[in-house]
Structure 1
Amino acid sequence: MQNTIEKELQEMALKVREHIVRMSTGGGCFTGASLSAVDLIVYLYSEFLNVNALNLYSPERDYLFLSKGHDVPALYGTLAELGLLQKDRLKNHLSLDDYIYWHPNTRIPGIEFHSGSLGHLPSIAVGVAMDIKISGGDNKVVCILGDGELNEGTCWEAMLVANAYKLDNLIFVVDRNQFQANARTEELIPLEPLADKFEAFGASVKRINGHDFNALSETFNAYPFEQGKVNVIIADTVRGKGLPSIQERADRWFCNFSAHEVEQLLLELHGNHYTQLTSETLVVR
């Protein structure tokens, strides 16, 4: 990837993280999980998916399904930076006067399907990919899952169907931040060896650093990985990426910061100041 493109993606990712921090007040949001998914979503919409303000409803567009719907602040922020959603609307987060809240809503331009209850969108993505195959289209279908979400049996049922119908136009991306809600996945219900499990279901699997734009570019440019096999990318990420004070902390799953704390976190995001927020200053759910 050219250095200029990588720099532009990094700058956009920083702006998206700013949006997430600002949405972490007045009721809060799933801050840690959203921050882990930023680089994935920014790359997909900027470099890989054929989705823009002019083709949002075109049958020729590509599709992204955010199955781990609580990461939607990362998607809101990306859509806003790309001009698909007005930036001013992000101030309406959790307002009764808008549709911007904790989970994706199709009333927001660019969001393909409602999600929130985990484990359902892999099947939706399979259905769309099957329809494209039957219709002879070349659209790409991407479904982002959480690693903890993989405890839902419907994810693996979708994998069985996807491989039975040789849906090599479908990419499952696992945001592997090692946490499920407020516990580590490997301490709750271990997932590893995760790549082996996907391969046993017939998928072609690649594992990468989900914060490395060069790795993302190299991997997605190799799509489809193998003819007739569903593509799976396990993206190793860090919950709370960009904010050292909340990174990889189980109690920083859902955050509701005060306005002052938001300002401190924005400074921390830019590396200008570091404030260790105590658990007493944070509403955790």
Structure 2
Amino acid sequence: MTDLKKQELEELAFRVRQHIVKMSTDGGCFVGASLSAADLVVYLYSEFLNISKDNLQDPDRDYLFLSKGHDVPALYGTFVELGLMEESRLKNHLSTSDNIYWHPNTKVPGIEFHSGSLGHLPSVAIGVALDIKMKGGSNKVICILGDGELNEGTCWEAALVANAHKLDNLIFVVDRNQFQANMPTEELIPLEPLHDKFSAFGAAVKRIDGHSFEALEEAFTAYPFQEGRLNVVIADTVRGKGLPSIEARADRWFCNFTQTEVEALLEELKGEKLATIESETLVVR
């Protein structure tokens, strides 16, 4: 990945995070988890998947299913930046005048399937991937899951079925931010060793830094990871990424900030971006 491409993606992810923060008022949203998933969603839509505002009904398009549906602010923010949605619609968040609320809604163009009840979309993604295989298509199918979501047995059943049908056109992406709602996953129901567990279920697994666009590029350009096996990417992320004041905090999984707090968080986000740029510049020197 070139430095220019990396900078473009980082700038895009920064703008998406701005949208997420702005949606965390007037009723609030799952801001921490949305911030952890922002880089994943930005990379997949802008670099990996064949999805655009011009091909949403094209049978040859790729598919993304956001199984951890509470991260939908990251999805909507990405839609805005890539021209799939008007930015003005984000102001209708949780309003009865629109269909934009806490979970994906198929009435929003670009949403393939509604979600919110965790553990359900891996099975939907399997159905689509199997249909593509049977028709001889080359579409890619992504299903983004939360790490806490993996406590749903349907996720592991889905992994078994995907491998039974050799669905190497399907990728499970796990947003591994180490939290389930307001508790660390390893204190509630431990998931580790997660790589070994997916491997034992027959999947070809890669574990990466979910905030590194270079790591994302290296992993996804290797698709399919192994012929005839479900692809799994475990993306290690940080809840609340980009806002040090709420990063990795158990009490910041859902937030309804005041407008004054939102403005302060936007300034913090901007300051963190500038600090990162300065740090990278010093390293180069």
**Match of residue 278 from structure 1:** none
Distance (Å, rounded) in 2 between the aligned partners of 1:99 and 1:3? 38
Match of 1:20 in 2: 20
**Partner residue in 1 for 2:102:** 102
Is the partner of 1:252 in helix, strand or coil?
coil
Cα distance in structure 1, aligned partners of 2:108 and 2:13:
20
Task: State the secondary structure of the residue aligned to 2:271.
Answer: coil
For 1:49 and 1:176, locate their aligned partners in 2 and report how far apart those are by CA, in whole Å. Answer: 21
Superposition TM-score, scaled by structure 1 size: 0.95
Q: 1:276 corresponds to which residue?
A: none
Q: Give the AA of the match of 2:25.
A: T
The answer on whether the counterparts of 2:119 and 2:150 sit within 8 Å (CA) in structure 1 is yes
Number of residues of Structure 1 aligned to a counterpart in Structure 2? 273
1:221 equivalenced with 2:225 (yes/no)? no
The CA distance in 2 between the partners of 1:189 and 1:3, in whole Å, is 40
2:54, 2:30 → 1: CA distance? 30
C-alpha distance in structure 1 between counterparts of 2:13 and 2:67, whole Å: 20
Q: Distance in 1 between matches of 2:7 and 2:110?
A: 25
Task: Specify every segment of 5 or more residues in structure 2 that has no aligned partner in the other structure, as ranges.
Answer: 274-285
Please, what is the CA RMSD of the aligned residues?
Answer: 0.9
SS in 1 for 2:232: strand
The ranges of structure 1 where at least 4 consecutive aligned residues each deviate by more than 6 angstroms after the TM superposition are none
SS in 2 for 1:202: coil
SS in 1 for 2:249: coil
1:19 aligns to what SS in structure 2? helix
How far apart are the structure 1 equivalents of 2:140 and 2:205?
A: 17
Distance in 1 of aligned mates of 2:87 and 2:7: 22
Q: Please list the CA deviations of residues 155-209 of structure 1 after superposition, one character each: whole Å capped at 9, or x if unmatched.
A: 0111110000000000000000000000000000000000000000000000000
Return the offset for 1:109: 1.1
Instruction: Return the letter of the residue paired with 2:208.
Output: I
Pairing 1:142–2:114 present = no
What is the aligned partner in structure 1 of residue 240 from structure 2?
240
Q: Are the counterparts in 1 of residues 148 and 185 from structure 2 also a CA contact under 8 Å?
A: yes
Instruction: Please tell me whether the aligned partners of residues 21 and 262 of structure 2 are also in contact (alpha carbons under 8 angstroms).
Output: yes
Distance 1:171 1:46 in 2: 17
Q: 1:281 is matched with which residue? A: none
Greater per-residue helix proportion: 2
Post-superposition Cα deviations, 1:23-76, rounded to whole Å, max 9, x if no partner, equal 000000000000000000000000000000110011000000000000000000
Rounded to whole Å, the distance in 1 between the matches of 2:272 and 2:260 is: 16
Equivalent residue for 1:280? none
Q: Pairwise mapping of residues 252-263 of structure 1 onto structure 2 (< 5 A)?
A: 252-263=252-263
| Distance apart, 1:272 and its partner CA | 7.0
What pairs up with 1:111-260 in 2 under 5 angstroms?
111-260=111-260
Q: Distance in 2 between matches of 1:210 and 1:89?
A: 28
- Give the equivalent residue in structure 2 for 1:29: 29
In the alignment, the residues of structure 1 paired with residue 161 and residue 136 of structure 2 have an alpha-carbon distance, to the nearest angstrom, of 19
Task: Name the % identity.
Answer: 75
Q: Structure 1 CA distance, aligned partners of 2:8 and 2:112?
A: 26
Partner of 2:65: 65
Q: Which amino acid aligns with 2:186?
A: E
Secondary structure of the equivalent of 1:271?
helix
1:114 partner letter: H
Residue type matched to 1:237 in 2?
A: T
Between the aligned partners of 1:121 and 1:170, the Cα distance in structure 2 is 12
